[in-house]
Amino acid sequence: TLRDDIDIGRGDLIVRAGEEPRVGQELEATVVWMNEKPLQIRKRYVIKHNSREAKAMFTAIDFRLDVSDISRHEASQLGLNEIGRVQLKTTSPLCWDPYASCRTTGSFIIVDEATNETMGAGMLLDPVA
């Protein structure tokens, strides 16, 4: 029970003062792609972040990670079992923390908007300055 009468709903967060999460629509993440259909730039997906959903689009793939030697490679898409650093934009703001600080508010699942297939998973990162 809360002392004050406030309007909150599914997907809203209650946090301590001074521990507010980041809020934004333009995000940077590491993505693990888990579907045979490749991740495509500018294709619409749904992001499931905690109990909230938002439509999203990947705007850039910064690089694909080669796990055998941890080298970075240019990529225009990510295929099955590939890992990459990406930029994405959501249609509504998400309240999030970097994955390194909080796994719960720092992770998300990627779903194909048309087929409802799970496509991959992501870990939110602090933006690179």
Output the average pLDDT for the chain.
91
Mean pLDDT of 7-36: 84
pLDDT score at 14 = 73
Q: Are 45 and 113 in contact (CB under 8 A)?
A: yes
b/e 99-109 (16+ beta carbons within 10 angstroms → b): beeeeebbbbb
For the stretch 112-126, pLDDT in tens is 999 999 999 999 998
Average pLDDT over residues 72-97: 95
Residues 93-116, mean pLDDT to the nearest whole number: 94
For tokens 């080298």, the residue is: 71
Residue 112 CA to residue 83 CA, distance in Å, equals 18
Output phi, psi for 13, to 5 deg. -110, 145
Q: What is the pLDDT of residue 11?
A: 64
Q: To 5 degrees, how large is the angle CA 65–CA 50–CA 9?
A: 155
C-alpha Rg value of the chain to the nearest Å: 16
Q: What is the mean pLDDT of residues 46-56?
A: 94
Mean pLDDT of 77-87: 96
CB 13 within 8 A of CB 95: yes
